[in-house]
Amino acid sequence: MVAGLVVADDLTGACDTGHEFAARGYRTRVTLHPTGSPGDAEVLVVDTDSRYAPADVAADAVRAAVEAHPAETLYKKVDSTLRGNLAAEVAAALQARVDRRTQDGTPDGLAVVAPAAPATGRTTACGVHLVEGTLLTDTEPGRDPEKGPASPRLPELFADVGLPVEHLCIETVATGPAAVADRLREWGSAPRIVTADATHDAHLRAVATGVDRLDEPAVYAGSAGLAGHVPLPAPPDGSGEPVTTPNPGDRAGELGVAGSVAPQTLAALEALPEGSLVVLDAEAAVADPGETAAETARRVRDVLAAEGRAVLTAATDEVAVDRALAAGREAGLPDRETRERVAETLAGTAAAVVADARPAGLFLTGGDTAVAVLDAIDADAILLSGEAVDAGIPLGTVEGGRADGAALVTKAGAFGGPETVINCLDRLREV
């Protein structure tokens, strides 16, 4: 049994949440196969890759992950902008936890949901979720056409799960852990969902510590913010040193793959030095992914040889995205399938470059693209080092496949500044 199990719905979220445990000295592994062995990990992070799956499929994936990996502490990672199958996945994690507990004769339990991440501008006040002070549903991620939240009011998103829903208000979490624990006890022991306000890191600490004071089992549900405060047994002596795996000596250079088209990512791509950016023809990728990947890989290898680093992307502005989607519609493809085809072409390009040029470091941004690239290079897992380039941008090592031993930085698309991509590549060069 592992000390902690994190179940995430996308890869970049899996990595930045797992980092919060690795940074405290726990050997933390992100498995790319939901039923894969944790090996010597003290904290296992499972990516169900279910953010855009149908709700019932996502719930089944979460239940399967929880059942496959018994753990003392269960953490359900949710998106800090509430995208995806939020309610279905949290309810599934709680049900799996309750089912396991019921076998021991104690059918109680609760899921405490605190998705705030103040360090990256995500806060919840009076049940309303905000991004950089703006109402969630008025932001780009909050308007996600496929799996955006129906409401910025966190408790409302759980109205249909068939369980009681309570809310920890800002007054309670600001008072501290004892007040949180007292309020949770007042609501009783029947399985339930509890949402929580948090506008400061201290509020998340109060929530996590208050839940830990209860006798009943709990599912912690949040973004990377809450994860940094979830109590676990002390790591073994000597495990607090950062995990490092030296790169094989025949690897050199840094390869970046940007699949996100969030404004933050586009701004960071614009800041790259001239000559290091390679733009894949997304319209051609829709029509002929294989040939497009082969042609683009040749260009990426040339840039790597000349510059020592290369960043691959399929779009530098929203116009390119619109053109690709229009090409997909002309071919009779739904927008989601078009996006997947472009991501697969990016991944195929990256795989060809990794096989031939053997870069020492990989930088991946955009959850779908990160999964596709790691799958294309046959990676098994990511061992997190406990080090980070910046908040929400962890450093790890690829385990298995064609990039085994390569340093890896992952980043969600929707945050970071104009210099973020450059900083990530520079950090990879230092490893």
pLDDT score at 65 = 95
pLDDT score at 234 = 77
Q: Are 364 and 257 in contact (CB under 8 A)?
A: yes
CA atoms within 13 A on the CB side of 136: 25
User: Domain limits of the chain?
Assistant: 2-227, 254-430
Q: How far apart are CA 92 and CA 59, in angstroms?
A: 5
Tokens 């990728």 sit at which residue?
285
What is the number of other CB atoms lying within 10 angstroms of the CB of residue 305? Answer: 11
Residues 126-173 have pLDDT tens digits of: 999 999 999 999 998 899 988 999 999 999 999 999 999 999 999 999
pTM for this predicted structure: 0.91
Mean pLDDT of 176-199: 95
Homologous superfamily in CATH for domain 2-227: Putative sugar-binding, N-terminal domain (3.40.50.10840)
Structure tokens at 56: 């019932």
Q: What is the DSSP string of 383-422?
A: EEEEEEEETTEEEEEEESSTTTT-EEEEE-TT---TTHHH
Mean pLDDT of 412-424: 89
Please state which CATH number belongs to domain 254-430. 3.40.980.20
Q: Are 89 and 58 in contact (CB under 8 A)?
A: yes
Kindly calculate the radius of gyration of the chain based on its CA atoms and give it in whole angstroms.
21
Sign of CA dihedral 269, 274, 276, 280: positive
Asked whether this chain's domains 2-227 and 254-430 adopt the same fold, the reply is: no
Q: Of the ranges 32-41, 56-65, 352-361, which one carries the lowest mean pLDDT score?
A: 32-41
How do 309-313 and 134-135 pair as beta strands?
unpaired
398: phi then psi, degrees, rounded to nearest 5: -70, 135
237: phi then psi, degrees, rounded to nearest 5: -55, 135
pLDDT grade, residue 107 (50/70/90)? Answer: very low
Q: How far apart are CA 54 and CA 39, in angstroms?
A: 31
Say which amino acid occupies 311.
Answer: V
Q: How far apart are CA 429 and CA 186, in angstroms?
A: 53
Mean pLDDT of 174-191: 94
- Residue predicted with more confidence, 215 or 349: 349
pLDDT score at 126 = 97
Residues 216-257 have pLDDT tens digits of: 879 999 999 999 999 998 776 545 455 555 555 567 899 999
